[in-house]
């Protein structure tokens, strides 16, 4: 087995006690905030499996809220995330669920404000690593551990090729890419993980392409 980093072996720099239940949970909250593009006003967090059974003792609840506030896994402010959320006006609710899921450490996070709402399913797969398996009803596989862009677009011929060409013109290599859609000819979602950070100017170029509705960047 090959490791990209020593942290793949010893785990992430984090606020404990658990890499899967605490660090992974914080990462789910942080990626949720990044995808939303701003701090939400409210959050409903549905917990499944082991998350639902141990979320208070392992700090899963405070970690997710800390992530929604923009705190990374190593940020000491996670310890007081509830108090900081109250001060920031972020309302949150935890809902333990009993249904079966693909992975025991699963959270369905629904967030919103006066402008919009967003829902995603995040899985903590161990060692502080996560996967986002669904976003607003679109199935996907996003690790949250690499620089990535999410492109909402009309399901039209050539849309994928134009985005890939735009990245190639900037010498940006695609490490992983997938596309999902709910219905042929309607809206679709590109998930593109890349090897290098993406500058704002490149996002603007992609946003100006035909049939593109929204472009969101996820930092590594």
Residue limits of CATH 3.30.70.260 in the chain: 148-218
What tokens does 130 get? 């996560």
Distance CA 17, CA 124 (A): 14
Nearest Cα neighbor of 214 from 195, 187, 194 is: 187
Residue limits of CATH 3.30.1330.90 in the chain: 7-142
- Residues pairing with 135 in the sheet: 120, 138
**Tokens 């800390």 belong to residue:** 66
Nearest Cα neighbor of 105 from 48, 170, 168, 148 is: 48
**Tokens 């998350």 belong to residue:** 51
Query: Which architecture characterizes domain 148-218 according to CATH?
Result: 2-Layer Sandwich (3.30)
Q: In tens digits, what is the pLDDT along the chain, a chain of 220 residues? A: 343 443 343 344 445 445 567 899 999 999 999 999 899 999 999 999 999 998 888 889 999 999 999 999 889 999 999 999 999 999 999 999 987 777 789 999 999 999 999 999 999 988 778 999 999 999 888 876 678 999 999 999 999 999 999 999 999 999 999 999 888 989 999 999 998 888 999 999 999 999 999 998 887 6
Candidate CATH numbers 3.30.1330.90, 3.40.50.720, 3.40.50.150, 3.30.565.10; the one for domain 7-142 = 3.30.1330.90
What does pTM read for this prediction? Answer: 0.80
């Amino acid at each position: 087995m090959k490791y990209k980093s020593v942290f793949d072996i010893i785990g992430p720099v984090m606020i404990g006690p658990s890499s899967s239940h605490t660090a992974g949970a914080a990462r789910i909250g942080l990626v949720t905030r990044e995808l939303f593009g701003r701090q939400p006003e409210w959050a409903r967090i549905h917990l499944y499996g082991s998350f639902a059974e141990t979320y208070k003792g392992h700090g899963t609840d405070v970690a997710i809220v800390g992530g929604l506030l923009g705190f990374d896994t190593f940020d000491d402010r996670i310890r007081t995330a509830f108090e900081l959320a109250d001060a920031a006006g972020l309302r949150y609710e935890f809902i333990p669920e009993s249904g079966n899921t693909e992975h025991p450490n699963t959270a369905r996070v629904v967030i919103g404000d006066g402008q919009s709402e967003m829902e995603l399913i995040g899985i903590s797969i161990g060692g502080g690593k996560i996967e986002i398996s669904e976003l607003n009803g679109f199935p996907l596989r996003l690790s949250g551990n690499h620089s990535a862009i999410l492109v909402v677009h009309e399901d039209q011929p050539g849309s994928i090729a134009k985005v890939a060409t735009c990245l190639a013109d900037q010498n940006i290599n695609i490490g992983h890419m997938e596309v999902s859609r709910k219905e042929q000819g309607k809206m679709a979602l590109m998930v593109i993980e890349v090897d290098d950070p993406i500058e704002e100017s490149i996002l603007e170029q992609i946003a100006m392409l035909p049939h593109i509705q929204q472009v969101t960047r996820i930092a590594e």
